[in-house]
Structure 1
């Protein structure tokens, strides 16, 4: 630490150099200590103006930047984690773009789906006939047209909540659900549920 003035300026000189070093180093990761040191040496050697009148400057010589090994290792792990996050985020972005393209362009309707299939299968119109039903089904799926109705969703939900019921107990549960729907004035839904449950309990002759 050097300054071209009386010892009374020592405190201001030290503070000016320390503040400048802190500001500069805050922009660098510990893993870039060598680069930060090169920049810091260049800046501190040039010096800082403490006063224009009288003209007083402070600068540093033989500057060395060191990093605690534990902090350096921590910084390396953090940098690796950030890189992994960036790669994952980029992958998710690509996936979202592909899904949006499929939803909004390829499977927007059966005509678009058919053209997309032809483009990727050497424009084989003859083979298209065999896969056209699958393309139609895919368009419906993407559009949500094959989403289960409320009765099917109700049965699926209760079956998922009671996986250990035997066939007869499950039949009786469906009967009770149909009775509740009928009592609530949902006779059509009740009939639909009963049609899925069957007219007779399991193991009982029709």
Structure 2
């Protein structure tokens, strides 16, 4: 449509020019001047319409390209600088036990400075890394130095600004150790704690066994007889032969005299199963599993037997268990669960 309009405008201009030339050549001057004025008005109107529509159409078809803006290339990245720190003491969870911290500190300035002599960026970077490391070590046990080293390697492995905002810092090749003296002390303390736990368990086991014997098995003669019967697989005959010994043991455990009617069963003759009272005593002590208290227990039994008028049995007990001869003038306190 625009091309047709332009063609019509060309034709009109040509025809107008021919008409104007004819009027100038053959018409009177007043007529062709009037025609020229009228033609000029028509041309101006046509030019105005062309300017509104034709120019817009042309500008839409062929937009003016803006000139490219020059952008300078970005500056090359600044290579991080290094600062080595070695064996710096950092506090641990325990007083007087310091970690020894070593690492390579990598840092770069946040903003280029005209004169870096005005700010010690390396010192700011090292201080930032030590501050971040201390926040971790002061909450860790000194005996976990290798684990703390791995933890700090991850925490300090990212660039972060220091508190002043002048430098970015991180750390690599992190090492955390203890001094040789502190490590030896911790090893000794750990060994003592382990031994203490073992000893405490042994003490509780011994105490439990003594309570069991004193408050249950040897509470009275009847309890001792029933327990002995179970231990000997229901051998009634053997248990009957050991009643006197059981009564003596029960009385000794409870710091009482032997009940009437059972003291005659303790003598130096062979029991009903062919074993002597000392043999029965040895078997009984073996079943109790008294360990280090066996000799004390046997010594007290020998004293009781001597006090009840059986010195020969007491002497046999002393010989059998390789004990010191009991002194009847200085009787020892019988054993019970409270000693």
TM range (shorter): 0.5 to 0.7
Matching of residue 84 in structure 1 with residue 195 in structure 2: yes
Superposed CA offset, 1:36-69 (max 9, x none)? 3223323443688988xx9x98653221012222
Partner of 1:136: 247
Higher relative contact order structure (alpha carbons within 8 Å, sequence separation ≥ 6): 1
Distance 2:236 2:187 in 1: 56
Distance 2:208 2:237 in 1: 31
Q: CA deviation at 1:86?
A: 1.2
Q: Is the 8 A contact 1:17 1:60 kept in 2?
A: no
* Higher strand proportion (structure 1 or 2): 2
Q: Is the 8 A contact 1:50 1:57 kept in 2?
A: yes
The TM-score, its normalising length taken from structure 1, stands at 0.54
Count of residue pairs the alignment pairs up = 141
Cα 1:15–1:62 change in 2 (3 A) is: closer
Q: Is the 8 A contact 1:17 1:58 kept in 2?
A: no
Structure 1 gap segments, 5+ residues each: 147-195, 197-206
Matching of residue 21 in structure 1 with residue 164 in structure 2: no
Matches within 5 A, 1:5-154: 7=121, 10=125, 13-14=128-129, 16-24=131-139, 26-29=140-143, 32-45=144-157, 59-146=170-257
Cα 1:114–1:48 change in 2 (3 A) is: farther
* Higher helix proportion (structure 1 or 2): 1
Distance 1:75 1:13 in 2: 30
Aligned-residue RMSD, C-alpha: 3.3
Structure with greater Cα Rg = 2
